[in-house]
Chains A and B, each alone.
Chain A
């Protein structure tokens, strides 16, 4: 590293903030773009599993809430891709790379949704896992990203409540409805445990070194388990991992080792719904290219 790069690294490690026009090392910029782009991709792809259920929502309230939640996610994608664009990668290029499989999106959005139980479990648990990571990003050294994270976290706050409301209503309903929740948890547990990524020590994680991330993967996972396993158990629901338990002395949750090969396999585009969803995006994007031409192509 050059002296200037060393100085920059010390600056961010000391809590220094970076703005769009500031000089930054190539590695920092490249890591930033890749990370933030993946976040944008995830918000955009996360829309697809939930979208179908807007149409099937069984009450007007749920229909409105779910539409608003999914709308928030699209809005987040807009905020996030604008940040990436200001770092030098245009939105259309990000979308090209997403659809071609060159760039990635989070594992959870590669899986199917099967019942209304999924709607509750996704909004309650999957969003919770995401929010833990997002809260940690409030301290990102790259200020434009940290700033949008504030708006994102604020908007996500109703998502979890909505999810919990759906789940509680089901759990208090018929046996069949309770069954929907349990069955959804059974299916979503493995992807949830993989969500925060495999444990890399903070001091071995370049993303933490550059203060892009401020939280190690395992720390995020532990926070998730601490917050949400008690919530699951108190409803009389179970988690499909017999090894899951908290060591009261060390305050660390023990669990069966997630399948890291599965995670890798899925995020590289081989998940059950990966290609179908990307194809769906490609179809609409191609179909509507004329709209972007007619509306966004700059006259100036």
Chain B
């Protein structure tokens, strides 16, 4: 598999799985206006995954859907951070805030990639991400002094650092406190290999309809 395809799949899998997790909140977010806004973010994440898969699909002579759904669980390259099932709002919004901060750093690098297709796609995604960041910031500001939020951020900080490679994680370690207005408790960056416990269950549910009639059009 080409190096480009590998890089694309890593980000695409992050976006797909996070979008999948975030879409679990559709209909049950704390209040209606937030529910609508949060759902748009989840859709954008999945939309970004789709665009990334489409690019990788050309390199791999497959379709985006095949990449998104037809690989066995061990072939997905998402960070354990995005796989976590977080059905508590403090945890979910903490992940949103931290992921957006990490993703912004990653996209910055991608926007100046020598590969024009990659750079172009990164620029497009970044223009949508502006609004994700505004959303993350408004929540981080509002919950700055909320103990539940701080606890969640601290608990997830190591995992968030683990989304990026060491060099970029250092940038995140610098930037996140500025955005949060406070510094998370020190944590070791989580390793990016392997999958969390809940991933198999996620994969089962995500692929159950598709697997029920292999090769069918839906």
User: CB-CB contacts of B95-128 with A at 8 A, as 1s and 0s?
Assistant: 0000000000000000000000000000000000
* A56 with B33: CB separation less than 8 A: no
* A48 with B27: CB separation less than 8 A: yes
B146 contacts across to A, CB distance below 8 A: 294
Which A-chain residue is minimally distant from B67 (CB atoms)? Answer: A60
A237 to chain B, nearest CB (A): 18
* B217 with A173: CB separation less than 8 A: yes
B50 contacts across to A, CB distance below 8 A: 60, 64
* A58 with B69: CB separation less than 8 A: yes
* A70 with B26: CB separation less than 8 A: yes
Q: Is B148 among interface residues, defined by CB-CB distance under 8 A? A: yes
* B218 with A62: CB separation less than 8 A: yes
A78 contacts across to B, CB distance below 8 A: 32-33, 35-36
Taking CB atoms and an 8 Å cut-off, the chain B residues in 55-69 that contact chain A are 64-65, 68-69
Q: Is A267 among interface residues, defined by CB-CB distance under 8 A? A: no
B42 contacts across to A, CB distance below 8 A: 67
B205 contacts across to A, CB distance below 8 A: 55-56
Q: Report if A67-B43 is in contact (Cβ < 8 Å); known contacts: A60-B64, A284-B28.
A: yes
Size class of the B contact interface (CB-based, 8 Å): 35 or more
* A59 with B46: CB separation less than 8 A: no
Q: Is A233 among interface residues, defined by CB-CB distance under 8 A? A: no
Q: Is B89 among interface residues, defined by CB-CB distance under 8 A? A: yes
Q: Is B169 among interface residues, defined by CB-CB distance under 8 A? A: no
Taking CB atoms and an 8 Å cut-off, the chain B residues in 201-218 that contact chain A are 205-206, 208-210, 212-213, 216-218
* A51 with B27: CB separation less than 8 A: yes
A295 contacts across to B, CB distance below 8 A: 30-31, 142
Q: Report if A58-B218 is in contact (Cβ < 8 Å); known contacts: A63-B46, A288-B89.
A: yes
* A287 with B216: CB separation less than 8 A: no
* A77 with B30: CB separation less than 8 A: no
A176 contacts across to B, CB distance below 8 A: 213
Q: Report if A292-B209 is in contact (Cβ < 8 Å); known contacts: A54-B23, A60-B65.
A: no
B62 to chain A, nearest CB (A): 13
Bound CA–CA A30/B47 (angstroms): 44
B31 contacts across to A, CB distance below 8 A: 291-292, 295-296
Most buried by B among A51, A290, A294: A294
* B68 with A60: CB separation less than 8 A: yes
Most buried by A among B30, B39, B42: B30
Bound CA–CA A60/B30 (angstroms): 26
* A56 with B209: CB separation less than 8 A: yes
A51 contacts across to B, CB distance below 8 A: 26-28
A174 contacts across to B, CB distance below 8 A: 213, 216
User: CB-CB contacts of A15-44 with B at 8 A, as 1s and 0s?
Assistant: 000000000000000000000000000001
A258 to chain B, nearest CB (A): 29
* B36 with A71: CB separation less than 8 A: yes
Q: Which of A54, A58, A172, A177 contacts B26 (CB 8 A)?
A: A54
A99 to chain B, nearest CB (A): 13
Q: Is A68 among interface residues, defined by CB-CB distance under 8 A? A: yes
Bound CA–CA A60/B19 (angstroms): 11
Q: Which 7 A-B pairs give the minimum distances between C-beta atoms?
A: A47-B27, A291-B30, A58-B210, A78-B32, A288-B30, A71-B39, A58-B218
Q: A residues engaging B (CB < 8 A)?
A: 44, 47-48, 51, 53-60, 62-64, 67-68, 70-71, 73-75, 77-78, 81, 91, 116, 166, 169-170, 172-174, 176-177, 280-281, 284, 287-288, 290-292, 294-296
Q: B residues engaging A (CB < 8 A)?
A: 20, 23-24, 26-33, 35-36, 39-40, 42-43, 46-47, 49-50, 53, 64-65, 68-69, 88-89, 142-143, 146, 148, 205-206, 208-210, 212-213, 216-218
Q: List 19 A-B contacts (CB under 8 A).
A: A47-B26, A55-B20, A55-B23, A55-B205, A58-B210, A60-B50, A60-B53, A60-B65, A63-B23, A67-B26, A68-B39, A71-B26, A71-B39, A71-B40, A71-B43, A74-B35, A78-B36, A294-B146, A295-B30
